[in-house]
Structure 1
């Protein structure tokens, strides 16, 4: 199986998967069609998450993701939506924090605006990703976060 060129930046992934932060309808439609399992590996390339963290957030084993990729399968709608939302989240985070290293540190520390919980735990659901996005907007505009 031939592999796509390696994705190294969040903007490359956003372009590849047509993930636009202000295009919820398009994102949901894309999720219903499913994204290739390779999106998992593209997100690993720029996110700073480990394969264990990302597969845990998706509630899918890493071996299953590998098998899907080898078989050229697409992910289900829920996992596709999660990954697409993660791409848009990382785009916003790069704008707000200036780099993804700082954002990854922030993900692992309690956030006041998220009930003093670690934002990373909220990435397990699309709604949780929306809460993190809201928190990033508050940070961007100087609200106490």
Structure 2
């Protein structure tokens, strides 16, 4: 079966609340995101391979196997990839500046108990906490 690059991985989606796009995301998660699509998805993101392995709940060695074998990530990792991508897009839109958002993501956050937000990206609950904090910032509620 020949795999085509997904519309999401091609960067065609910006409206993550569009219902038809959500169905495409579910399909992509079920099929598994190819490593090449993962690279396109996150070509500008500053995370290390070690951080990605942690976020995806796999070893660095397993991440290397995906890279070298050009295999698709399983559904669990594909879903986490989508969650993180959605969060990064949302954060950039809240800050209206990529560099400022990345700085915030890597800085201890007082309202979140002094936790560095990017250290929470290994769980769905953590991703939701970061997203909630971004929502507060968007609404002007800083503490």
Q: What TM-score do you get using the length of structure 2 for normalisation?
A: 0.75
Deviation at 1:76, TM superposition (A): 1.5
Determine helix, strand or coil for the equivalent of 1:128: helix
Equivalences, count? 135
In the alignment, is residue 15 of structure 1 matched against residue 11 of structure 2? yes
Q: Show structure 2 runs of 5+ residues with no match.
A: none
Runs of 4+ in 1 over 4 A off after TM superposition: none
1:67-86: per-residue Cα shift (whole Å, max 9, x none)?
22433321112211111111
Give SS of 1:45's match: coil
Answer yes or no: is 1:122 the counterpart of 2:129. no
> Which position in structure 1 is the counterpart of 2:91?
93
Give the superposition deviation at 1:32: 2.6
Q: Indicate the larger mover: 30-39 or 126-135.
A: 30-39
Contact 1:19 1:85 in 2 (8 A): no
Higher relative contact order, chain-length normalized (CA < 8 Å, sep 6+): 1
Structure 1, unmatched stretches of 5+, are 5-11
Deviation at 1:91, TM superposition (A): 0.9
Whose Rg is larger? 2
Q: Give the C-alpha shift of residue 92 in structure 1.
A: 0.9
